[in-house]
């Protein structure tokens, strides 16, 4: 059984990684550096970093707030909120992108108003940020809710009874209690934000140097039969994946509790609805 | 701090957790809220603390209406059943927390904080554990850290939710005595929740027995034990034998005993009467004139001996349980199967 599992892992995980790096370096290190140093490639890297730098902190804040509200308080519409948080996992990213086109595109609901006021959302950076945020919406909240629920409210109530303010309680008690879970969620959120293709592809318009993120740039290069360059940029994304995995393992080692939360969205949806 | 509750009620959806509770706790008391699970004792404690708001009624602290005060204003120390120690802080940091979060103007200097925390750790016998983390402590030690942390802010009222619930029997017993001594030293008004009658009787100087969210009886431990206000309290505080009262020719009997007068004087007016007798209230001997019975089983338990007795006229499946000291048992030299006579030193009908 172990052998089968290892063979499977090798075929589907290790082999593609090896292919990515070997293809990227197929025309030599010089070509690899040139492909990465290309201004258009750099523009894609910068845009990807910018999008992640905006969407990850926002979703981190939102995820923290939502998890806090859901885990520590009872209120009407709680289950609806949980369902809404799950929505991006359930909807295909392409559909999500199309929804943004329908809302903010030239012929969309708010399109004419936005154009009249000189605001571009679709086929511009704001659209890419919106799409990325939608897709990465659940990661932090989903990671924190079970942890916070398991911890209960006793620590917070103790802090309040000792005279701490709400902010002190959050900062000195709640946050340290979930720090590894939060970091874990941020890590997954970031990996997805940088790697997202479908939703971003629909809203970006593929304008080179302007609205091309790294995954989109890889696709364009590949479609132009510029295989080595495509794999060179792809190798950067693969590196990100490896770093994410390393970080994830480190945190799971630090906080064994995290190992119980499966990373696969579909599994999670099923589990947490019950 | 003295506490008064006036008509306090609290519902959770359809469930009435606490109904119309009136209660007065004098300053310096050590009071136990005693009752089976689901009787509303923890809810009542949380209402006094300000962690839950009552739907109706008032909470008076030192005579002032504190019903709407937040917990911080009530000057209470609250200790949770599972201690709720901050796991990322050392024992020292845990105890110092309430002092560290004070406003700059009120906050003691670092040296003063260290001194106070040191003194508190001394008080709870954990002076050597200041730099340890909660995960490195035993259950009893964690409980004492939680207590020291609560005491650090000089509360005028100490509230403890099932303080010994998660500990094993030996540690429980030690901590109970320790808490009793601590209270005698500090005189902080304290209320603790428990479902263990033994614990309530041993530690508290006042006991409030709760049933279904209502107060069933309030009194000193001896009062509640010796003069239970209802069969519920009688049953809940210690073991009881239950004997149905039989009626013949218009008179009522408990075994051979004519109890018609006692039955007429009982508070409840229900048709079927039951007598409750504690095991140690049954004297087993051989003198004629008692209630004849047969010894079914003999169980020595440490310093006492328990006997199962089939009393004449009672159903065989419900033997009476009697209790006597080891010495008395040795002197009487009772054997299984022997015919004996029982004298009921005390009993109550409900």
ipTM over cut 0.90? no
Contact B161, B193 (CB under 8 A): yes
Q: Among A155, A158, A163, whose Cβ lies nearest the Cβ of B102?
A: A163
Residue A162: closest CA among chain B residues belongs to which residue? B98
Q: Output the CA torsion sign for B155, B158, B163, B169.
A: positive
Judge whether B72 is closer than 8 Å to chain A, CB to CB. yes
pLDDT in tens, B244-281: 888 888 788 888 888 887 877 776 666 678 889 999 99
Q: How do beta strands B76-79 and B30-34 pair?
A: unpaired
Contact B121, B104 (CB under 8 A): no
Q: Quick one: average pLDDT of B155-175?
A: 87
pLDDT in tens, B9-38: 999 988 999 999 999 999 999 999 999 988
**Three-state SS across chain A?**
CHHHHHHHHHHHHHHHHHHHHHHHCCCHHHHHHHHHHCHHHHHHHHHHHHHHHHHHHHHHHHHHHHHHHHHHCCCCCHHHHHHHHHHHHHCCHHHHHHHHHHHHCCCCCCHHHHHHCCCCCCCCHHHHHHHHHHHHCHHHHHHHHHHHHHHCCHHHHHHHHCCCCHHHHHHHHHHHHHHHHHHHHHHHHHHHHHHCCHHHHHHHCCCCCCCCCHHHHHHHHHHCCCHHHHHHHHHHHHHHHHHHHHHHHHHHHHCHHHHHCCCCHHHHHHHHHC
In the prediction, which pLDDT does A253 show?
A: 81
Alpha-carbon gap, residue B119 to B85, rounded angstroms: 19
Task: Tell me which chain A residues have a C-beta less than 8 angstroms from the C-beta of B97.
Answer: 159, 162, 164, 172
- Kindly determine whether residue A155 and residue B49, on different chains, have CB atoms separated by under 8 Å: no
pLDDT in tens, B182-211: 898 888 999 999 999 989 999 999 999 999
Q: Among A157, A162, A176, whose Cβ lies nearest the Cβ of B98?
A: A162
Contact A187, A56 (CB under 8 A): no
Question: Which residues neighbour B283 within 8 Å (Cβ) at sequence distance 6 or greater?
Answer: B290, B322, B324, B342, B343, B344, B345
For residue B198, give Cα distances in angstroms to B171, B208, B321: 15, 14, 19
Q: B interface mutation test: which of A72, A148, A162 has the most B CBs within 10 A?
A: A162
In which band, very low, low, confident or very high, does the pLDDT at B349 lie, cut at 50, 70 and 90? confident
Tens digit of each residue's pLDDT, chain A (274 residues): 888 888 988 888 888 888 888 888 888 888 888 888 888 888 888 899 999 999 999 999 999 999 999 998 888 888 899 999 999 988 899 998 898 888 888 787 887 888 888 778 888 888 899 999 999 999 999 999 999 998 889 999 999 999 999 899 999 999 999 988 898 899 889 989 988 888 988 888 888 778 888 899 888 888 888 888 888 888 888 888 888 888 888 887 877 666 554 443 333 333 333 3
How many residue pairs bridge chain A and chain B with CB atoms within 8 Å of each other?
58
In which band, very low, low, confident or very high, does the pLDDT at B4 lie, cut at 50, 70 and 90? very high
Q: Quick one: average pLDDT of B147-164?
A: 92
- Give the residue, B110 or B315, on which the prediction is more confident: B110
Alpha-carbon gap, residue B64 to B48, rounded angstroms: 13
Q: Among B80, B82, B101, whose Cβ lies nearest the Cβ of A162?
A: B101
Q: Spell out a b/e string for B296-324, using b for 16 or more CB atoms within 10 Å of the CB, else e.
A: eeeeeeeeebbbbbbbeebeeeebbbbbb
Judge whether B133 is closer than 8 Å to chain A, CB to CB. no
Average pLDDT, chain B: 90
Alpha-carbon gap, residue A203 to A200, rounded angstroms: 5
In the prediction, which pLDDT does A268 show?
A: 36
pLDDT in tens, B96-115: 999 999 998 889 999 999 99
In the prediction, which pLDDT does B308 show?
A: 93
């Amino acid at each position: 059984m172990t052998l089968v599992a290892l063979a499977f892992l090798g075929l589907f995980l290790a082999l593609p990684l090896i292919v990515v790096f070997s293809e990227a370096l197929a025309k030599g290190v010089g070509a690899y550096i040139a492909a990465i140093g290309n201004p258009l490639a750099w523009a894609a890297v910068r845009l990807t970093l910018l999008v992640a730098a905006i969407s990850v902190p926002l979703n981190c804040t939102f995820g923290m707030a939502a998890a806090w509200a859901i885990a520590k308080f009872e209120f009407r519409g709680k289950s609806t909120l949980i369902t809404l948080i799950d929505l991006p996992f359930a909807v295909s990213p392409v559909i999500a992108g199309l929804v943004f086109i329908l809302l903010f595109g030239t012929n969309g609901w708010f399109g004419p108003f936005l154009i009249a006021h000189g605001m571009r959302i679709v086929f511009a950076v704001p659209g890419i940020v919106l799409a990325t945020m939608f897709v990465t919406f659940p990661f932090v909240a989903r990671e924190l809710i079970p942890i916070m629920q398991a911890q209960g409210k006793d620590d917070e109530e103790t802090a309040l009874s000792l005279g701490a303010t709400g902010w002190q309680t959050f900062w000195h008690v709640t946050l340290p209690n979930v720090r590894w879970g939060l970091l874990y969620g941020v890590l997954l959120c970031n990996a997805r934000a940088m790697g997202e293709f479908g939703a971003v592809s629909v809203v970006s318009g593929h304008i080179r140097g302007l609205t091309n993120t790294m995954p989109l740039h890889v696709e364009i290069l590949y479609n132009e039969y510029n295989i080595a360059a495509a794999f060179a940029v792809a190798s950067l994304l693969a590196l990100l994946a490896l770093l994410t995995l390393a970080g994830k393992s480190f945190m799971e080692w630090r906080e064994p509790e995290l190992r119980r939360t499966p990373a696969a969205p579909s599994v999670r949806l099923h589990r947490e609805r019950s | 701090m003295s506490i008064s509750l006036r008509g306090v009620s609290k519902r959770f959806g359809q469930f009435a957790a606490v109904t119309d509770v009136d209660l007065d706790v004098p300053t310096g008391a050590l009071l136990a809220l005693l009752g089976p699970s689901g009787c509303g004792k923890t809810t009542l404690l949380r209402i006094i603390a300000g962690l839950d708001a009552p739907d109706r009624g008032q909470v008076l602290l030192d005579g002032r209406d504190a019903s709407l005060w937040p917990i911080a204003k009530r000057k209470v120390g609250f200790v949770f059943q599972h201690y709720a120690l901050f796991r990322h802080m050392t024992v020292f940091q845990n105890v110092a927390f309430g002092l560290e979060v004070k406003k700059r103007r009120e906050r003691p200097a670092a040296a003063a904080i260290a001194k106070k925390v040191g003194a508190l750790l001394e008080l709870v016998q954990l002076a050597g554990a200041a730099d340890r983390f909660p995960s490195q402590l035993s259950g009893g030690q964690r409980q004492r850290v939680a207590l020291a942390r609560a005491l650090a802010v000089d509360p005028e009222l100490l509230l403890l939710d099932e303080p010994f619930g998660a500990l094993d029997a030996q540690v429980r017993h030690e901590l109970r005595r320790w808490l009793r001594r601590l209270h005698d030293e500090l005189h902080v008004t304290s209320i603790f929740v428990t479902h263990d009658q033994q614990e309530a009787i041993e530690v508290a100087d006042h006991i409030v027995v709760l049933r279904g969210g209502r107060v069933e009886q309030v009194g000193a431990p001896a009062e509640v034990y010796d003069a239970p206000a209802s069969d519920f309290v009688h049953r809940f505080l210690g073991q009881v034998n239950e004997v149905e009262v039989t009626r013949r020719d218009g008179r009522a009997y408990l075994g051979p005993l004519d109890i018609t007068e006692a039955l007429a004087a009982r508070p409840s007016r229900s048709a079927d009467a039951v007598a409750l007798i504690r095991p140690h209230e049954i004297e087993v001997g051989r003198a004629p004139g008692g209630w004849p019975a047969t010894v079914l089983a003999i169980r020595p338990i440490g310093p006492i001996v328990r006997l199962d007795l089939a009393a004449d006229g009672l159903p065989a499946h419900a033997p009476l349980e009697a209790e006597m000291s080891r010495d008395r048992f040795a002197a009487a030299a009772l054997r299984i199967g022997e015919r004996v006579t029982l004298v009921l030193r005390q009993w109550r009908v409900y």
